[in-house]
Each structure stands twice: as C-alpha cells, then as structure tokens.
Amino acid sequence: MSDEPLAHLDTHVEELLAAVEALNSLEELIASEPSLVGKRSVLSSLQKSLGSLSPEERRDAGARLQEARRRVDEALRVRRVALEQAARDAELAADYLDLGDVVAGGVEVPLGVGHPGIVALTQYALEEVFVGMGFRVEDGPEVESDWYNFEALNIPPAHPARGMWDTFYLELGEPESVVLRTHTSPTQIHLMERAVAENSLPLHAVMPGRCYRRDTPDARHLASFHQIEGIVVDRGITFADLAGTIDTFTRAYFGPDIDSRLRPGYFPFTEPSAEFEITCTLCRGEGCRTCSQTGWIELGGCGMIDPAVFDAVGIDAGEWSGFAFGFGIDRCAQMRHEIADMRALIENDVRFLRQFS
C-alpha cells in the first residue's frame, strides 16, 4: 500500500488539467491557485506521502510527481496568458469609441457646395460648353475707365445709349470717369488691344465676370450680376457664324428642347445687333409670370462687331470681321434651375442653396 502512493496520479493530473481549463477569469484563477498547486493541493499531499517510500522508490516517484507538477504549472501558465489576453480585449472593447455613433448622435456638419447662381456652378458649366466649342476663357477688371466701359465701345460721352446702363460711378472725372463695369464688353476691348499688341489675331474667347448696374432688384434683375461675354475676330466671319454659335450653345447648355431666337436689337458696339432669347424653361414657352407671358426669356445681346470698335483698338476692319455676344450667367442659372425669382440667388437662404447640393 505504502509503495503505491501515486497509484491515482494520472487521474489527479487529468482532473487538475480539466480544472485549469475550466477557469473562466483571472480572478477565478488567482482564487483557485492554492488548491490547484499550493501547499494544500493534491500534489503537495502526495509529495508528503513519499516519505514512506524507500530511497530508490522515492526518487522515481519524486520524478513522476515533479513531471505532474510541471504539466499542471504549464497548463496554469497558458491559461493565465489566455485569460489576461481576454481581459485586455474586454477592456479595449469597452473603451472602443465608435465615431459612427458619435456622428449619429451628434451634430451633423453639412458639406458646402458651389453656389448655383454666381460664378461657381453655372459659370463653370458655361465655360465648359464654350471651351468645347473652341473658345479660350479670359477675364478682365470689374473697375473700368469710362473709355473701356463706353467710349471704345462706340458710346461717346452724352450719347443717349448710355441710358441703357444705369451706371455706378466711382469717380466723376475730367476727361475720364471711373465706373463699376456695367457689362463684360469692356473685356472685349482689353483682349482686342492685347491681340493687336501681340499680333496674335484671330481671337476666340469668352469672358465671364461680375457686373454692376444701378437697378432695383426684381424677379429678373440684380444690381450685381454676372455676364459671360464672347468674342470672335477672324477673317470672313458672318452673322450666320454668330447665329450658329448661339444656337449650338443653347442646345448644349439648356438641352435640345430649348430654342433660341435672335430679335433685331440695338447696341452701339455691334451692327447689326440682336437680342438673344431662349424658350422660357419655367413654362416651356406657354407663357408665365417670369417671362411676362411671352414664352421667351431674354438672355443677352449680340451682333457683328461695329467697325468703329475695330477702329478704337486698331484692327483693320477691311481684313478682319467678328461677332460678340454677352448674356447673364445668373439668368442662365435661373432658367436652367427654374428659379422663379432671381433674388433667391443672393438671399443666402440655406434651404434654397441645399437644393443644389
């Protein structure tokens, strides 16, 4: 009997390993450690029982017991590492900050978008159409001398046509006043002067930009608005080129079911001159308040460049001919996006602006 103190060692070891495996938390492990491998454990009491064995038997039994203890210790070590890892994972999971939740429960930060009426969206879309048709994009100053805004455009001082533009004067000067440009046409003059100086005719360019008129804003007019000017100076240019350009542009920008038409008009810097109208997109030509029941909306003016303008910039009207046009970018935005009242473009009502995001 006394030589068999380790008769059930394997069973004890199996039980101990199963108990280690069943430990579910670090706390449980720490609490169970004394009973598994401590002084009151089975292995320790078996150790004590070896005293009754002969020295040789004791050596063998001691080695077996030591191996048993090593297996249980190792199982405990592995279990401890696993439980520590699990505890760390749980801690991290509890700490995890889901930014999605934060945003969902927090303040929404809306992304800005380009403004539909001013330069941004509409201007870029218009530029794209004209660049596709072979025009360059240029710009010019918003503050002009009287000469660029009027005189070079064949509008001498005191000419009755000056009444066509209610002008903001920055300085009433002699001989020259300084004005906020009332249209983008003065940029035509700058470009033609430059082309002459650089000897770089022909010229095909569009010039978008802000203009100013001393107007009372209404459903179709703003005191500060945007135009896009176009100019072509080349050999053999005719009115048919102008009409074709306007029509190609209208269909490309507004779509195939919107028509353009040219009505006889008057501008001192073009001859002949025309007013450029398109089908009212709000009523599709039926007639509505926005188009004053006509079914048509005036976008701008155009015509063949007057020889007096060529004279002013030093272009030989015998060799070169050309056309120019200018129309409202804001008006285009109004028609394209079917905005009944143009003042909505400058009122900064975010509910209005959000529709374009």
List the one residue from 130, 254, 296, 325 that touches ligand PHE (CB under 6 A). Answer: 325
329 binds ligand PHE (CB under 6 A): no
Tokens of 234: 């080349």
List the one residue from 246, 300, 333, 335 that touches ligand PHE (CB under 6 A). Answer: 300
302 binds ligand PHE (CB under 6 A): yes
270 binds ligand PHE (CB under 6 A): yes
**Which residue type occupies 226?**
H
Q: Shortest approach of ligand PHE to residue 265 CB, angstroms?
A: 8
List the one residue from 326, 329, 331, 339 that touches ligand PHE (CB under 6 A). Answer: 326
303 binds ligand PHE (CB under 6 A): yes
DSSP states along 233-283? EETT--HHHHHHHHHHHHHHHH-TT--EEEEEEEETTEEEEEEEEEE-TTT
Question: What is the total count of residues that contact ligand PHE (CB under 6 A)?
Answer: 13
DSSP states along 64-80? HHHHHHHHHHHHHHHHH
Q: Count CA atoms within 13 Å of residue 308 on its CB side.
A: 13
DSSP states along 102-135? HHHHS---PPP---SSSIIIIIHHHHHHHHHTT-
Q: Shortest approach of ligand PHE to residue 201 CB, angstroms?
A: 18
State CA 223 to chain mean position distance.
28
154 binds ligand PHE (CB under 6 A): no
List the one residue from 212, 253, 254, 267 that touches ligand PHE (CB under 6 A). Answer: 267
Could you tell me which of 197, 185, 192, 218 has the C-alpha nearest to residue 302?
185
- Which residue, 208 or 300, is less far from ligand PHE as judged by CB? 300
Per CB under 6 A, the segment of 18-26, 39-47, 104-112, 323-331 that binds ligand PHE is 323-331
Query: Hey, which residues between 28 and 47 contact ligand PHE (CB under 6 A)?
Result: none
Query: Hey, which residues between 197 and 236 contact ligand PHE (CB under 6 A)?
Result: 229
CA angle 350, 356, 357 (to 5 degrees): 85
Residues that bind ligand PHE (CB under 6 A): 183, 185, 229, 267, 270, 273, 300-303, 324-326
